[in-house]
Structure 1
Amino acid sequence: MVVGGAVRATAGAICMYWAVSITLIFANKVLMSSAEYSIPAPLFVTWVQCVETVAILWALGMAKEARPDLPFLAQFPSPRVDSATLQAVAPLSVVFVVMIAANNVTLMNIPVSFYNVAKALSVVFNVVLGYYVLGSVVSWRVLATLGVVVMGFLVGTTGDVQLDMMGTLFGVLSSAMSPLNSIMTKKVLPLVGEDKWVLSLYNNVNASLLFIPLMIIFGEVDTLRSHTHILSSPHYWVIMLASGVLGFAIGIVIVMVIKHTSPLTFCLVGVLKNSIQTVLGVYFYGTIMSSGAVLSVVLVLVGSLLYTYVRSSESANEADVVKTVNGSDDDDDECQA
């Protein structure tokens, strides 16, 4: 019965992750490239979603203070911020703003079916930054898996697929910012007591402020003025508000999946999610998938999975070596960790 319950909990977390993540992608796609409910203002869409995240965290913080006895609410921060911490988190927030803005520009210009191809270089930048910033060792097996990913990216951008240039460039920019965001997050977390929700609050407050001048500089205020008929549509705001809630929920769901799976299993879950997302993109948007397009998607998905498998294997081997050198045979501590 215990095993069956664990399996159901794991399956439930995975299905919830798939549902939330895929729905979020399609909701954002509708907001930015739908003939009926779209405004070509990706910075505005991202700004609204950051403001929503702040509002949700603030509301949950107030609820925690009203009902401190509820375990679920205990994880969220109190509804307050201070200027010193906002300034300390600001460098991370700049990277975060560039990353999520570029991410939405990519989605606006790239079909959902090829979204993962446009952002395929994330693992490559992850290894490059890890090598130059953290001094991480890179094996030939890791390089071989990256070669598969790069090949898939090149097939998708230079072959018969011919992805949109702007979407591809911003996909590369988002891919470069993603590992840098992770590295900076690790450095900034101690400033907020290693609390990811406190960091999320400060990060999104900063982002909400940073996006305002960016929207003015890139002319999105004029774009919004010319689309007042959509801004006044209740349907538009239903989708917008839903995307913000989904964007907040994805953080909770990912934690649930990680809790019930291993890193390798989580990567497999992600690859399967991307595969489902691609199929749904083809189905709903009628995307034409040539042989080159299929090859591109397959190479990126397989390369990403092989990369995580190799990195997980090497990490496990390194842990075994350290364990042997230290003479440690304490399995209980390892299980608790």
Structure 2
Amino acid sequence: MAEENFLRKSLKIALVVALYWFTSIAMVFFNKRLLNSDEIKLNAPIFVTFFQCFVAVILCQTIAFFAKFKRGSTFPTFKFDQKVSREVLPVSICFVSMITFNNLSLRDLGVPFYNVGRSLTTLFNVILSYFILKKTTSPLALVCCGIIMLGYMLGINIEGDLVNLSYIGCAYGAIASFFVSLNAIFTSRVLPAVENNLWKLGYYNNLNSCVLLLPALLLSNDLYTVYKFPDLANLYLWGAFILVGIFGFMTGFVSTWQIQVTTPLTHNISGTAKACAQTILAVGYYHTPKTALWWLSNMMVLAGSFFYTVVRRNQMKHDHDEKVQFEREKQKSGLRLNV
């Protein structure tokens, strides 16, 4: 019975991670197409971020409306609660910062080198998990994190030799990396405030994000850029906007789900490995030639991520077995007391 429960839990985690990889990679390519492709090239990252959050709010309300007509539906109704909104605010601040700097980094660095920011995510998460959550990481897991970091740093050095790097893009990536880690930690702490309901969290998070982004949107040049955009009436453009908004919501939903079924650190390790796979896909898609050392750096990241997953899986199984053993001992003690 215990083995069956563990297998079910492992399969669920594998499904969530696969969904996260699919939605997140698709999201990056869609954003790149909007922000810096030859077909569109719309230099309005804050507007794109705002529109993603706005579409997510509308999507939540639409699903909630139709769910009312389904008998026995457990989908939550969204009635604005100021107290819940206030409790979700730390996540929203991190979320807005994360996706804004991600989009800025993506605009300046491009997809093949987009993982530059992810090189710091694991390091930030280990540090923040220790200082905020008071959680330590096992020595073997730290070694795996070190391999990932070495792989990325090697890739960064090689990329710097091959092309002219945008240092502001690298800075955006580093800042985004910090907020990715902070977002994962705050998300795990805020979930009880929304009754562990991912739809509720998504609704309040995106609603807060729209409000937070309004001042930046009004102060920036993005609205004027969109207004003066020559293809503003193009249905393809607005279809792309809506598609990016839907995938943005899906990515946020699945990211939160991944944090819920694993840990913040595991979520970011998954993100690191995903970024590596995403880079390999981008090299093939954009036909960007890379050296053997560049490929070696990516293999180091994948190897570190794989062995980290093995270490964490063994640790999870050990903790699960200990919990089952404790429950058995507790039941035996209760039976002896009853006798």
1:170–1:232 Cα change, 3 Å: same
Asked if residue 63 in structure 1 is aligned to residue 62 in structure 2, the reply is: no
1:176–1:94 Cα change, 3 Å: same
Contact 2:21 2:274 in 1 (8 A): yes
CA displacement at 1:88 relative to structure 2: 2.6
1:266–1:199 Cα change, 3 Å: closer
Q: Give the equivalent residue in structure 2 for 1:288.
A: 289
- Report SS of the residue matched to 1:231: coil
The CA RMSD over aligned residues, in Å, is 3.7
Q: Give the equivalent residue in structure 2 for 1:171.
A: 173
2-side partners of 1:195 and 1:137: how far apart? 27
Q: Give the equivalent residue in structure 1 for 2:150.
A: 151
Which residue among 39, 42, 52 is the counterpart of 2:55? 52
Contact 1:47 1:208 in 2 (8 A): yes
1:18–1:314 Cα change, 3 Å: closer
CA displacement at 1:25 relative to structure 2: 1.8
- Report SS of the residue matched to 2:297: helix
Give 1:209-228 correspondences, 5 Å limit. 209-227=211-229
Q: Give the equivalent residue in structure 2 for 1:31.
A: 34
CA displacement at 1:308 relative to structure 2: 2.9
- Report SS of the residue matched to 1:288: coil
1-side partners of 2:87 and 2:255: how far apart? 26
Question: Please, which runs of 5 or more residues in structure 2 have no aligned partner?
Answer: 1-7, 332-339
Contact 2:199 2:253 in 1 (8 A): no
- Report SS of the residue matched to 2:79: coil
- CA displacement 1:18-48 (0-9 Å, x = unmatched): 5544322211110111122121111111110
2-side partners of 1:152 and 1:313: how far apart? 24
1:46–1:275 Cα change, 3 Å: same
CA displacement at 1:49 relative to structure 2: 0.6
CA displacement at 1:200 relative to structure 2: 1.0
Question: Please, which runs of 5 or more residues in structure 1 have no aligned partner?
Answer: 1-5, 331-337
Q: Give the equivalent residue in structure 2 for 1:125.
A: 124
Which residue among 22, 43, 46 is the counterpart of 1:40? 43
1:318–1:84 Cα change, 3 Å: closer
Contact 2:154 2:294 in 1 (8 A): yes
Contact 1:38 1:230 in 2 (8 A): no
Contact 1:41 1:223 in 2 (8 A): yes
2-side partners of 1:39 and 1:82: how far apart? 36
1:52–1:290 Cα change, 3 Å: same
Q: Which amino acid aligns with 2:296?
A: L
- Report SS of the residue matched to 1:112: coil
1:150–1:275 Cα change, 3 Å: closer
Deviates more, 1:82-91 or 1:204-213: 82-91
Contact 1:118 1:153 in 2 (8 A): no
Q: Which amino acid aligns with 1:185?
A: T
Residue identity (%):
32
Q: Give the equivalent residue in structure 2 for 1:110.
A: 109
Q: Give the equivalent residue in structure 1 for 2:242.
A: 241
1-side partners of 2:91 and 2:317: how far apart? 30
Q: Which amino acid aligns with 1:24?
A: M
- Report SS of the residue matched to 2:137: coil
2-side partners of 1:10 and 1:317: how far apart? 17
Q: Give the equivalent residue in structure 2 for 1:191.
A: 193
- CA displacement 1:175-196 (0-9 Å, x = unmatched): 2112211221222222222212
2-side partners of 1:150 and 1:46: how far apart? 29
Contact 1:161 1:292 in 2 (8 A): no
1:255–1:139 Cα change, 3 Å: closer
Q: Which amino acid aligns with 2:248?
A: G
- CA displacement 1:219-249 (0-9 Å, x = unmatched): 323333442x133322211111111112233
Q: Give the equivalent residue in structure 1 for 2:208.
A: 206
- CA displacement 1:47-98 (0-9 Å, x = unmatched): 101000000000111111232445xxx33x2132122322232222111111
2-side partners of 1:14 and 1:288: how far apart? 29
Q: Which amino acid aligns with 1:283?
A: G
Deviates more, 1:212-221 or 1:93-102: 212-221
2-side partners of 1:11 and 1:304: how far apart? 14
Contact 2:122 2:272 in 1 (8 A): no
Q: Give the equivalent residue in structure 2 for 1:334.
A: none
